Structure 1
Amino acid sequence: MIAFASRTGNVRSIIHRLGLPNVEITEDLMMTEPFFVFTYTDGLGDVPLIVEKFLQNNHSFCKGVIASGNSNFGHSVFCKSADTISRKYHVPIIRKIELRGFPRDYAAIVDQYQNVFEREVSL
């Protein structure tokens, strides 16, 4: 499962292209299964408030983070939300994506998804 938040539509567009099980993050969403969190980057590298609240309640099921960002704001803040989530919740960064990404980004996410969640099922 991929739990996602999208403000400008970039993340939502990628989610639709991936074709993987997904759910949009809402304030009261409670997860009962493992997931990747997929977020945009707010401001100058911040984790969006809705994502932070979601992770406070659901981080025990989080297996990795994917972030979308805009490198025009500088390397130090590009997808910094992924860095923050990874550090705070001790999960790997699956991918950092420029805006709507590229086919190689989609392939990498699908590959990581299959590796992580197939392993979860077989354990």
Structure 2
Amino acid sequence: MIAFASRTGNVRYIISKLGLPNIEISQGLVVNQPFLLFTYTDGLGQTPNIVEQFLLHNSQLCKGVIASGNSNFGQAVFCKPANTISEKYNIPIVRKIELRGFQSDYDAIIEFYNKVIGLVGV
């Protein structure tokens, strides 16, 4: 499954293209299965508060992080939540995506998902 947060609709759009099981992060959500985390970038590189709160109770099952961002704000802040989450929770970065991304981004996410999440259920 992919647990995601979307503010402007870019992440939600990408989720719709992936065709993978997903759930939108809401206040108090607790998951009981392995997942990939997909977040947007807030402000100037901050991790959205709802994502931080979600990880407090769910980080143990997170198998990778994906972030969407806008490189016009500079490489120092582009998809910075992926770096922050990866370092804090020792979770691999799956992909950093410019806005709505490209097919190659979607393919890479699906490939990672099938290798990592697909094996967990075996």
TM-score, normalised on structure 2? 0.98
**Structure 1 consecutive aligned stretches of length 4 or more whose deviation exceeds 4 Å:** none
* Structure 1 residue 41: Cα displacement: 0.4
Equivalent pair of 2:11/2:40 in contact (CA under 8 Å)? yes
Q: Supply the AA of the counterpart residue of 1:112.
A: F
Give the gaps of 5 or more residues in structure 1: none
Which residue does the alignment assign to 1:90? 90
Matching of residue 72 in structure 1 with residue 72 in structure 2: yes
Matching of residue 118 in structure 1 with residue 110 in structure 2: no
- Once residues 15 and 44 of structure 2 are traced to their aligned partners in structure 1, the CA distance between those partners, rounded to angstroms, is 23
* Structure 1 residue 119: Cα displacement: 1.9
Which residue does the alignment assign to 1:105? 105
Q: Supply the AA of the counterpart residue of 2:57.
A: N
- Once residues 114 and 90 of structure 2 are traced to their aligned partners in structure 1, the CA distance between those partners, rounded to angstroms, is 20
**How many corresponding residue pairs?**
122
- Once residues 78 and 46 of structure 2 are traced to their aligned partners in structure 1, the CA distance between those partners, rounded to angstroms, is 10
Give the gaps of 5 or more residues in structure 2: none
Which residue does the alignment assign to 2:12? 12
* Structure 1 residue 118: Cα displacement: 2.1
- Once residues 70 and 88 of structure 1 are traced to their aligned partners in structure 2, the CA distance between those partners, rounded to angstroms, is 22
* Structure 1 residue 121: Cα displacement: 2.1
- Once residues 117 and 28 of structure 1 are traced to their aligned partners in structure 2, the CA distance between those partners, rounded to angstroms, is 23
- Once residues 20 and 56 of structure 1 are traced to their aligned partners in structure 2, the CA distance between those partners, rounded to angstroms, is 24
Q: Percent identity?
A: 64
Q: Supply the AA of the counterpart residue of 1:67.
A: A
SS for the counterpart of 2:12 is helix
> In the TM superposition, what whole-angstrom CA distance separates every residue of 1:58-114 from its partner, at most 9, and x where no partner exists?
101111100000000001110000000000010000000000000000000000000
